[in-house]
Amino acid sequence: MHPAFSVIFLTTLIGVGQGLFLAIFTGHSYAAVQLVSAQDSVAFYGVGGLIALLFLIGGLTASFFHLGRPERAWRAAAMWRTSWLSREVIVLPALMVLVLIYTAMQFLDLDTVLYTSETGNVLHLSLIIGTMAATATFVLYICTSMIYATIKFIQEWACALTVINYLLLGTASGFTLAAALASANAPELLALYGNWAIIITASAFFTRGGSLIRNARIKPISTMQTAIGVRHTKIQQKSMGMQGGSMNTRDFFHHKTAAFLKVIKWSFMILVFPVPLILLWSGVNSGSTSVLLGAFIIQYIGLIAERWFFFAQANHPQNLYYQTT
Amino acid sequence: MTQLALVIDLNVCVGCHACVTSCKEWNTSGPAGFMTDENPYGKDPTGTFFNRVQTYEIGEFPKTETLHFPKSCLHCEDAPCVPVCPTGASYKRDQDGIVLVDYDKCVGCRYCTWACPYGAREIDEDQKVMKKCTLCVDRIYDESLPEAERKPACVLACPTSARLFGDVHDPESEVSVTIREEGGYQLMPEWGTHPSNHYLPRRKTRMHIHEDELQRADNPLNKEQRGPSGPVEGTTLDDSTSW
């Protein structure tokens, strides 16, 4: 498939936003049951929620560049019964509204205590909103990844690993950013976020690596023989029925060399996994914000390459009909 | 239930592209608006088409054969492009099974093209909406046209009658009988999309001549001029047919 940067930025940016919000909410809910100490509502929960919201807005903005008719985007909520894309279109704004409410409650001091247990556990109203938003982040990860995983013709995508990878890569980048934020605004939570970021990034290494191994061994279900219905081992296309290309030749192929794809593959395998892991480990030990921020930025750049490769590697069966590009 | 579809005879198609040009002509002049062409007289002309004729070479020189292969939307019975559409712009009509796009609802997200294994949909680069073969839905029901002309433009244009049009759910229709009797097949059956359009394979007409058909044992010329040539060994065709 042709990797469109609008979709690459959409999926990576909302992945970070969702992951960061999940991290902030994890810290907040741990504090409610006194597993960690409670943090300043504005400096940490509020700022964290705001940054997550900005990433979600960035992703939504990028998605509009993918649409031919962005003014009709509201119509895309109509077919949620059958279309995962439609479900994503509903869940993403819903998540943004919930994160906005959560963040506003922190900044404007609108939070109220709903219940205090004898042992001192405190249930805030913002925690209820946060639970709803956290659920929405998981639903959104599933919606986004199922858009790809449900297309059975694209065998590289039609696999449970696609869903797992979107979930793990998004939360890994979000927790890495949360670790950087914690080192600046909530040093007590640095170890919590740093260690979770290391665990998730390491898990994602195995699941993404697993999908690379799987995709390298795929045997195409459709062949030239089934495409035109002629039984012969040697079939060669002589004409695509056009002179200068069409959408079919532009939208379904990356138009890059195999060597370029290999470079991108190894780049993201290094930038997303080992480099951030080393920086996270050193950042957690030293408490340096710049090292942790570096880990996030390098991992995010790696994720752009990862998403580019995700699209470029997908081989659509329609390409059997368009071979003389 | 009705399922309108095309049956394309690859044995007869000569690859003249008349179906392509007539399709473009009819549909670019229709009420749904023009079909964009970009750079039509330049170096890399490109544009939106509903139908294209491709050419394949089968085999290796010197044993090769050329196959002309017209390809348009197959109007699948289980169309995978329809459920993925987020706006409902892509739909399959209940009354005749034609898969259509509502150009006023389409957001141009291209997700349906990902979900079509045949590459039958093309985005109009000017109007930014998805377009595809409509089976000339604005023509086949037009009662102002003579009944014989209420067929898709490509079917009417084909000089060799390689394209048939009709209801593939009616077992006695011309298309159903042809599919049944001439070995009609579907493209990429492995995906379970159940394309409604069918293709008829290349069929070879070969003459089989046996040795005894070349030599007449009871040739009357032989009887009159020379003597009988003597008994022919074995049974000949004439033994069973002549009286």
The Cα angle at residue A169 between residues A165 and A175, in degrees rounded to 5: 145
**Residue A237, φ and ψ in degrees, nearest 5:** -80, 130
Is residue A9 included in any domain, yes or no? yes
Is residue A122 included in any domain, yes or no? yes
Of B44, B52, B55, the CB nearest to A244: B44
**Residues A40-86: tens digit of each pLDDT:** 888 899 999 999 999 999 999 999 999 999 999 999 999 999 999 99
Is residue A79 included in any domain, yes or no? yes
Of A86, A227, A239, the CB nearest to B187: A227
Angle formed by the axes of helices A84-107 and A125-149, to 10°? 160
pLDDT for A291: 96
Is residue A156 included in any domain, yes or no? yes
**H-only helix segments in A108-221:** 125-149, 160-185, 190-216
Residue A116's CATH number = 1.20.1630.10
Q: Which domain holds residue A190?
A: 5-227+242-321
Domains in chain A: how many in total? Answer: 1
pLDDT for A245: 86
Whether pLDDT at A163 is above 60: yes
- The verdict on B40 touching A (C-beta cutoff 8 Å) is no
pLDDT for A43: 86
Of A226, A236, A318, the CB nearest to B57: A236
Distance CA B6, CA B166 (A): 7
Q: Which residues contact B157 (CB under 8 A, 6 or more apart)?
A: B18, B19, B21, B22, B23
Whether pLDDT at B230 is above 70: no
Report the mean per-residue pLDDT for chain A: 94
- Its CATH class, for the domain covering B4-200, is alpha beta
**Residues A205-235: tens digit of each pLDDT:** 999 999 999 999 999 999 999 999 999 999 9
Is residue A201 included in any domain, yes or no? yes
Distance of residue A148 Cα from the nearest chain B Cα, in angstroms: 9
Average pLDDT, integer, range B199-203: 95
Question: Contact at 8 Å (CB) between B2 and B159?
Answer: no
For residue B67, the chain A residues in CB contact (below 8 A) are 228, 230
Tokens of A75: 């119509």
Distance CA A42, CA A49 (A): 10
Query: Which residue type does B213 have?
Result: E
Average pLDDT, integer, range B84-99: 96
Residue of B nearest to A314 (CA): B114
Distance of residue B170 Cα from the nearest chain A Cα, in angstroms: 24
Whose structure tokens read 């035109």? A228
Of B67, B107, B189, the CB nearest to A226: B189
pLDDT for A276: 97
Is residue A157 included in any domain, yes or no? yes
Whose structure tokens read 């921020």? A293
Is B107 in Cβ contact with A69 (below 8 Å)?
A: yes
Is residue A234 included in any domain, yes or no? no
Following DSSP, what letter does each residue of A205-247 receive, concatenated? HHHHHHHHHHHHTPPPS--HHHHHT---S-EEEEE-S-SS--H
| Predicted confidence band of residue B107 (pLDDT cuts 50, 70, 90) | very high
pLDDT for B32: 82
Q: Nearest-CA neighbor of B115 among B139, B90, B82, B146? A: B82
pLDDT for B222: 62
- The verdict on A241 touching B (C-beta cutoff 8 Å) is yes
Q: Nearest-CA neighbor of A157 among A314, A320, A4, A317? A: A314
Whether pLDDT at B132 is above 70: yes
Whether pLDDT at B143 is above 90: yes
Whether pLDDT at A34 is above 90: no
Residue B136 DSSP code: T
- The verdict on A78 touching B (C-beta cutoff 8 Å) is yes
> Would you kindly state where each structural domain of chain B is located, as residue ranges?
4-200
Average pLDDT, integer, range B229-242: 67
Distance CA B101, CA A287 (A): 56
- The verdict on B60 touching A (C-beta cutoff 8 Å) is yes
Is residue A272 included in any domain, yes or no? yes
**Residue A141, φ and ψ in degrees, nearest 5:** -60, -40
Interface contacts (A, B; CB < 8 Å) = 176
For residue A82, the chain B residues in CB contact (below 8 A) are 83-84
